Chains A and B, each alone.
Chain A
Amino acid sequence: MESSDEVAVEKCRVHLRPGTLRDAACATLHLLPCEVQVNGPAPVERFFTPAIRQGPDGLEVSFRGRRLRGEEVVVPPGLVGYVTVMEEKGEVPVGKDFSERSSNEDEREEQELAEPPEALERDFDQFIGATASFRRFTLWGLETIPGPDAKVRGALTWPSLAAAIHAQVPED
């Protein structure tokens, strides 16, 4: 373990558990046009989902008394959406090992072809796993559906442009 926390962060590697990418169940995602300052469970199925109506121009719902309009946005081709969660550090080793590992255990046997993890994993490293996947999400705007100029839509064009910027150029 590093003596200084800062150094540890720079040296730290966060390993994404590949098995979790395959097994992630499909999730329902909504991108709201407001900031909810909390992270945690919320009874979305009880209040939000049943209130969604199909209006003449897309979906309608209300949240905290405000009218929202939305539409489904598809994840760009070639990409998959994932929800990931950082695994707790060793502080609660028992809880971690039993809740997180149970599903990984059976996979371990299939993965006899595991490449040597040599030096890739160190004991101060952290782990992150996908808990859910998605192919589309619902984008919501206040009163109107977010227009074509919405920043999110711009961001979704990025992967196709990035592919060109980073493609190898031909040698002379």
Chain B
Amino acid sequence: MDCGNGARARQHVFLLPEYLKDASKKMKSGLIFVKLVNPCSGEGTIYLFNMCQQQLFEIKVFKEKHHSWFINQSVQSGGLLHFATPMDPLFLLLHYLRKTGKEGKFQPLNQVVVDDMFPNCILLLKLPDLEKLLRHVTEEKEIDKKKYYKYSKEKTIKWLEKKVHQTVSALKINNINVSARVQANAFFSGDQVSSDKEEDYIRYAHGLISDYIPKELSDDLAKYLKLPETSASLPNPPSKKVKLSDEPVEAKEDYTKFNRKDLKTEKKNSKMTAAQKALAKVDKSGMKSIDSFFATKN
């Protein structure tokens, strides 16, 4: 967050869930932006807490070169669009559980979620139904009515597998094209394409979930899901760095495809709402990182 550097106040453009507006009637305070650890990268990232209804939101920023906003009678450089979407707090808790899990001991939660770098992590302990959530990823013990938890990798992987399948359903509903690249054999065998489809969805969903878990766990999950290792024809970038450098290449290919298509389909689509259009034709580049929804890397 930048803290308003003087003369011109910086304006942020946000998309927030509508129910925050309704909920605001009853609250005087309780919507808080804080910096917490990013469970994938380990770096600091801004999250939004709704302390009244006890929800966690992640903040994603759409950022592309060469954009600016006109907001009423003002101009705002950058053209950033911030999204606040509900986040499963278990991804953040998992970061701490795995860290203390290495000690192999059962511990109370307030000794697990401790962070000198990001002291606001204690807000996580105020979220509701933590006990129920933690059952997905930990073994627990109760001594003198106090709960003690220990990270369980087996349970975590199973939980993540459910997340992947849940995401696959959403990808299908939203009609998001997940095929990484057109393969040569797609031209020759129709069967091949359809049988690969489910695996493409799983790989794509695995990539999305991997943005919320550390690399190590992502690799374990890939093995569990029996996703093939990186192969020549269908690269499944093993690390973020590879993904990033991979993106522009994929994007370029697709832009050319789309530009041609655009001209023909533009009129036909003009009856759909923008949202429908967006849903119907999202990126066809098979990018898996969430970043692909928000920013160009070149």
User: Using a CB–CB distance below 8 Å, which chain A residues touch chain B?
Assistant: 9-19, 21-22, 27-45, 48, 57-58, 71-89, 108, 111, 113-115, 117, 120-121, 126, 128, 130-132, 139, 144-145, 147-149, 151-172
**In whole angstroms, how far apart are the Cα atoms of A45 and B74 in the complex?**
10
Known contacts A155-B293, A157-B293, A164-B166; is-contact A29 B69 (Cβ 8 Å) = yes
Interface residues of B in 65-93 (CB under 8 A from A): 65-79, 81, 83, 85-88
Give chain B's interface residue range (CB within 8 Å of chain A).
35 or more
Partner of B68, one of A35, A76, A86, A130: A35
Known contacts A33-B66, A38-B77; is-contact A157 B174 (Cβ 8 Å) = yes
CB distance from B145 to the nearest CB of A (A): 22
A155 touches B73 (CB 8 A): no
A15 touches B18 (CB 8 A): no
- Kindly list the 10 A-B residue pairs having the minimum CB-CB distance in the complex, ordered from nearest: A164-B170, A18-B24, A114-B28, A148-B281, A162-B85, A169-B162, A16-B31, A14-B33, A153-B278, A30-B70
**A12 CB contacts on chain B under 8 angstroms:** 1, 34-35
**A144 CB contacts on chain B under 8 angstroms:** 262
Identify 17 new A-B residue pairs, CB closer than 8 A, beyond the known A22-B21, A158-B85.
Answer: A21-B16, A35-B67, A39-B77, A74-B273, A78-B17, A79-B15, A80-B16, A85-B12, A86-B10, A111-B26, A114-B27, A152-B64, A153-B281, A154-B282, A159-B15, A160-B174, A163-B85
Partner of B294, one of A14, A77, A158: A158
Known contacts A40-B75, A57-B267, A114-B28; is-contact A155 B18 (Cβ 8 Å) = no
B67 touches A42 (CB 8 A): no
**B24 CB contacts on chain A under 8 angstroms:** 18-19, 21-22
Known contacts A15-B29, A42-B75; is-contact A171 B10 (Cβ 8 Å) = no
Cβ of B11 under 8 Å from chain A: yes
Partner of B15, one of A35, A41, A81, A145: A81
CB distance from A67 to the nearest CB of B (A): 16
Partner of A126, one of B3, B135, B171: B3
A115 touches B294 (CB 8 A): no
Return the CB mask of B114-144 against A: 1 if under 8 Å, else 0.
0001111000000000001101100000000
**In whole angstroms, how far apart are the Cα atoms of A17 and B86 in the complex?**
19
CB distance from B123 to the nearest CB of A (A): 9
A85 touches B10 (CB 8 A): yes
11 A-B pairs whose Cβ atoms sit less than 8 Å apart in the complex:
A31-B69, A38-B77, A48-B70, A83-B12, A89-B4, A114-B28, A120-B51, A151-B296, A154-B282, A158-B294, A171-B135
**B241 CB contacts on chain A under 8 angstroms:** none
**In whole angstroms, how far apart are the Cα atoms of A128 and B31 in the complex?**
10
Chain A interface secondary structure, helix, strand, loop or mixed? mixed
Known contacts A45-B73, A151-B296; is-contact A165 B166 (Cβ 8 Å) = yes
Cβ of B184 under 8 Å from chain A: no
**In whole angstroms, how far apart are the Cα atoms of A52 and B40 in the complex?**
45
Cβ of B182 under 8 Å from chain A: no
Partner of B28, one of A80, A87, A117, A152: A117
Return the CB mask of B16-56 against A: 1 if under 8 Å, else 0.
11101101111111111111000000001000100110000
